[in-house]
Amino acid sequence: MDVERLWELYRQLGTSLDLDETLSSLDRELGRVVEYHAISVHLEEDSRLTCAYAAGFAFQKLAALEYTLGQGLPGRVAAARCPAFNQEPDAVAGLAVAMAVPLEWKERLVGVLSLYRVESREFAEDEFAALRALAPKLAACIENARAFRRAAAANTRALFERLDAEVARVRRSHGRLAVLECAVEGLDAGGPPAERIAGALRRACREYDFITPSGDSLIVVLADFAPSAPGETKSRIERVFQEAGLQVKIGAALFPIDGYDAEDLLAAAHGAAHA
């Protein structure tokens, strides 16, 4: 086993808050440490294990498998919270031997990581040790990614609820409404830097302006403003990012010129920010 590559994999885990990217990176780097022909990661939800990632031999069949706790190799590992070493897979024809580890975070079951070979050659003890060593870090990364996904979904719901309400209001009052998208390449919208920037933006804007992260951008919703306000606000926003050492592209969409509903306004602002 290549200890240096194992350490590099351990170091790289957690560099992304995207669950799919985290698991794809795990597969790519783990294959340099342990030889296997298929991999699956099943995550626990309401006492069931569903596949979040599968690759390699018969990956479509692995991806389709769901287990209850105690059912199948992953289900038995999950129920016992105990690794399985050089066991016979019992679900997919053509796979000859497997090892699997439970993924636990703060004494809670997160899921099961399984590796398979199509030949009867067994995994080595040091390969099994590497998998067990990775399990706690992987479980933490998965939990962080899932929390980020839930937060992103909540932010999206809050954005559409607020923007829908503002659109309905300005239609009645014939007021002004603008959506600004602040796009920063490589910005982790759920990380501490983005949170600090969002706080600075709130101080730079009016207290009733709405600011929320969205992907690698921050969205600002402005309502009931003077004709010069969007340009002034854009200048203040640019200063916030400059002081943070970041380059920002700001796209603006005005109601009803650029869109007559929330979806159209967001799309117009996004297009302008990424033009």
Q: Helix 125-173 crosses helix 3-12 at what angle (to 10 degrees)?
A: 20
Instruction: For residue 174, give Cα distances in angstroms to 80, 167, 177, 193, 261.
Output: 63, 10, 9, 37, 14
Torsion angle of alpha carbons 167, 248, 209, 179, nearest 10°? -10
- β-bridge mates for residue 182, sequence order: 218, 250
pLDDT at position 185 over 80: no
Q: Percent of the chain scored above 90 by pLDDT? A: 59
Mean pLDDT within 203-221: 86
* In contact, 61 and 50? CB cutoff 8 Å: no
Q: Percent of the chain scored above 70 by pLDDT? A: 96
Rounded to whole angstroms, the Cα distance separating 133 from 154 reads 33
Please state which CATH number belongs to domain 175-273.
3.30.70.270
- So what's the pLDDT on residue 85? 97
- So what's the pLDDT on residue 243? 87
Tens of pLDDT, residue by residue over 90-115, are 878 899 999 999 999 988 999 999 99
May I ask the CATH class of domain 3-149?
A: alpha beta
**Region(s) of the chain under CATH 3.30.450.40:** 3-149
Tens of pLDDT, residue by residue over 15-50, are 777 889 999 999 999 998 899 999 999 999 999 999
Query: Smallest Cα–Cα separation from 193: which of 251, 248, 246, 148?
Result: 246
Mean pLDDT within 158-171: 93
Q: What is the DSSP string of the chain?
A: --HHHHHHHHHHTTS---HHHHHHHHHHHHTTTS--SEEEEEEEETTEEEEEEEEETTHHHHHH-EEETTSHHHHHHHHHT--EEEEPPSSSTT--EEEEEEEEETTEEEEEEEEEESSSPPPPHHHHHHHHHHHHHHHHHHHHHHHHHHHHHHHHHHHHHHHHHHHHHHHHHT--EEEEEEE-TT--TTSHHHHHHHHHHHHHS-TTSEEEEETTEEEEEEES--TTHHHHHHHHHHHHHHHTT---EEEEEEETTT-SSHHHHHHHHHHHHT-
Query: Smallest Cα–Cα separation from 135: which of 160, 89, 182, 100?
Result: 100
**Region(s) of the chain under CATH 3.30.70.270:** 175-273
**Res. 275 pLDDT band, cuts 50 70 90:** confident
pLDDT at position 1 over 60: no
Mean pLDDT in the chain?
Answer: 89
Rounded to whole angstroms, the Cα distance separating 216 from 110 reads 27
Rounded to whole angstroms, the Cα distance separating 202 from 75 reads 47
